[in-house]
Amino acid sequence: MNRKTLIASSVAAALAVPAMAQAGELNFDFYGSARVQVESVRPDNREHLDSYTGVRDAYSNIGFNADYPLMEGLTLIGQLELPLDLANKAVQDPWDQEQDVRVAQIGVQGEMGTFLYGQMWLPYYNAIAAPVDMFSTYYSGFATFTTFREKDSVSYYSPDLNGFSLAFAWSDGNGFNDNDDDRIQLTGSYSFGNTTIAVGMDDFRGDQNVTLAGLSLAHTMGNLYLGAKLERFYSDINDSAVYGNDGDMAMNVYAGYTLGKNTFKLMVAEVENYGESIVHVGVDHQFNPSLRFFAEYYFEQETAAITEKRGGRADGYGVGSGQDIRGGQVFAAGMRFDF
């Protein structure tokens, strides 16, 4: 078989795959996102960590969505998404470097809502934290007490009921400090016009009875987007140096304004025992539908997100670590290519 015949056969085989999938009504949507930044990091306390300039991944990923109609009004759905830490040349999350899967879920979707099982984005994050998680660098999303995704979880999202919607999640063995207790989340939201208000509960359980309550607001006025959230811990912990301390609060206010291909962003936050005073400023330039350039400045009063070069959560900096670098500031610029 000559080279042209081999190429023709390969192309024909590749074209046959979606044709077969369509015949069986099974649909796949493959996607990916390459996100890399150059950063200059300056910790406030350089006794434990010097200033540095380096390259860091900003949550690159690759994956697919799939769906298959089971009957009228009921569809089987699934998703698999892997993290790609391009700076470290590894299949891992750049923050939680022990995590090699972002999303692996399967479920059903119909008129009664959506049921999912697996590792997934959790309802509390989607309703409470996501409205202010709008930045493009690695440092986006740290100004919250909750986690983004958990494995061994079951979730339910209700259909929209005249603007109202509910969500519930049960997560096996992902309770306080990753103990064996189950984790439970419940959220409710109401949308009217260009405004959405949401409330949520994230019950970590455990011996200290740790529960996180949250409230969020999202509002759009033309090219201006405003987001805000408030979180508070309720627990039996009475130690200001311990995560989950009773009464600790996280408060965020975000504003984003789009002008042509540019979006200007500002967030100020106060997150007790995890960053304290935080300022995050940035600009995105949408060069084309697939390519975005971004530049950001990030400041935290105490250590929450800053680590060693290309490091992650396992590096052990922060409150109670014994080597607190007391926060600092970051200048970062990079690009994001979606495919």
Cβ-count burial 34-68 (b if 16+ within 10 Å, e if not): bbbbebebbbbeeeebeeeeeebbbbbbbbeebbe
pTM of the predicted model, to two decimals? 0.89
Altogether, the residues listed in the chain come to a count of 339
* Cβ atoms 77, 69 nearer than 8 A: no
In tens digits, the chain (339 residues) has pLDDT values of: 443 333 334 333 333 344 334 445 899 999 999 999 999 999 999 988 999 999 999 999 999 999 999 999 999 999 999 999 999 999 999 999 999 999 999 999 999 999 999 999 999 999 999 999 999 999 999 999 999 999 999 999 999 999 999 999 999 987 776 566 899 999 999 999 999 999 999 998 888 899 999 999 999 999 999 999 999 999 999 988 888 899 999 999 999 999 999 999 999 999 999 999 999 999 999 999 999 999 999 999 998 999 999 999 887 676 555 567 889 999 999 999 999
58 residue type, one letter: A
Residue whose structure tokens are 């009464």: 247
Q: In a 3-state reduction of DSSP, which class is residue 275? A: coil
- Domains, the chain, in order of start with CATH, read 33-338 (2.40.160.10)
How far apart, in whole angstroms, are the C-alpha atoms of residue 216 and residue 150? 21
Residue whose structure tokens are 């960590």: 49
How far apart, in whole angstroms, are the C-alpha atoms of residue 156 and residue 137? 30
Closest CA to 254 of 135, 138, 335, 123: 135
